[in-house]
Structure 1
């Protein structure tokens, strides 16, 4: 049996084991996926150990994505280096077998996940005016994916310096959060790439009165229906939750490791069932 896993700290909240194990079962593959708590200071040891034990691949989550780039034995692809973060590690496969390549390869599939979620919802990304709220790691991956696909990207963030840096790297324009009203009016697609909405009581990052039915609203938060998505659905706007980004980035990682097409529908169902179980336990 081939072992796969996700490293992070904390890690108990991760839905990746449910999602990836469902994919292995659906395809009849002899693989299993587990979550491991790994601190930043022990990442190097943990990756070397996973390689030594014959793991098939890894995912990385907070706070390890950026740290992975400092591993001297890991070769990150161009996109991961540009984004500044690795969320997927492969120990084998074509990329690792190319002459002159390190066998341990690093990738970032977050942007792929976000782009696939938009395209799956019927959004024509090329030429669309996208308002991206946030300038952290997830926002950075999404911005690069949108830029590569030909979207016009505006980035609004609380920290204007970070917004400037990200916008400059993808040919976008940066704004502060105080500019949201005119930006929302001009946008075709609105993406919340901040943590606002993750917890009840967080409030709204956008005044609901600004949203219109022609908007596509995408919130990368996946643990609950955020107020932003509720507002979008209530006026008939297209609303995309963070589950789909989670599923598609995981599907891309699965395909990198195995060379098999990932059963995204099975993976989505596993995530949504796990979320519902958590909600039911919380309400008891």
Structure 2
């Protein structure tokens, strides 16, 4: 009988996690299968208990469930500090982890971008923003957080420590001194592919622009970055690296990262 894994979110139809993980399972000859499940926030607790009861091997958790999951399960110290979960393991109860931050860091390293002592501006204050803010601050980056609701940005900044939080109304001023801009919101995600928070006229040519949205591959934000002569970085490898770390947690097996990346790129 196949071991079942999955990803829960709402919406979820855009997710490429099933393609990526199923390619990894096939490459390693593992009798496992990975599926996407649409789950509303108010139903997450029941969904997690059901997955555990049915013998699931593990889950990824995506928007908007990452923060909701924290109050429902046991978490490892990093996930607890971040306040958001993106990976759940069922081998010993129901335990949550967060692999988003390391996925983002490895993505920028792949692109030749060092984050230490760099000015990083994060757009958004949700689960992915939390993971990146905590991880990057610990790695020596100088982090600012901008959010549509300033209070959420300021609350997250206070939790992380040595971080500034503000609304979108001061983006023009802040971007002048920013080295790395990271969009962690869903703005620009399919089907709203024409949307962006920042445009080319607000950017500068020394800026690295990293969009965690990976569908479409080249978001409107990244198109604006190219127009400004800035360096665009897609969210594909963040998906792959955070998924690879989740794969290790679930199975204890070293994941075939190249196979996972190839599957995602072919799907896009």
Query: What is the TM-score with the length of structure 2 in the denominator?
Result: 0.90
In structure 2, the residue corresponding to 1:186 is in which secondary structure? coil
2:117 and 2:79 map into 1 onto residues whose CA distance is 24
1:75-126 CA distance string (max 9 Å, x none): 111222222222211122xxx4xxxxxx321111122221121111111111
Aligned partners of 2:200 and 2:227 also within 8 Å = no
Q: Tell me by how many angstroms 1:153 deviates.
A: 0.4
Structure 2 runs not aligned, ≥5 long: none
Aligned partners of 2:8 and 2:62 also within 8 Å = yes
- Where does 1:114-125 land on structure 2 (aligned, <5 Å)? 114-125=104-115
Question: Is structure 2 residue 216 aligned with structure 1 residue 215?
Answer: no
Structure 1 runs not aligned, ≥5 long: 97-102, 276-284
Q: Tell me by how many angstroms 1:21 deviates.
A: 0.4
- Where does 1:241-252 land on structure 2 (aligned, <5 Å)? 241-252=234-245
1:62 and 1:174 map into 2 onto residues whose CA distance is 21
Q: CA RMSD in A?
A: 1.9
Distance 1:53 1:197, change over 3 A: closer
1:197-219 CA distance string (max 9 Å, x none): 222332x4223133233211101
Q: Tell me by how many angstroms 1:191 deviates.
A: 1.0
Q: How many residues align?
A: 263
2:80 and 2:128 map into 1 onto residues whose CA distance is 14
2:201 and 2:119 map into 1 onto residues whose CA distance is 20
Q: Tell me by how many angstroms 1:235 deviates.
A: 4.6
Q: Which residue of 1 aligns with 2:90?
A: 91
- Where does 1:177-196 land on structure 2 (aligned, <5 Å)? 177-196=168-187
Distance 1:53 1:66, change over 3 A: same
Instruction: Please identify the structure whose Cα radius of gyration is greater.
Output: 1
1:22 and 1:141 map into 2 onto residues whose CA distance is 26
Query: What is the TM-score with the length of structure 1 in the denominator?
Result: 0.85
Distance 1:67 1:206, change over 3 A: closer
Q: Tell me by how many angstroms 1:236 deviates.
A: 4.1
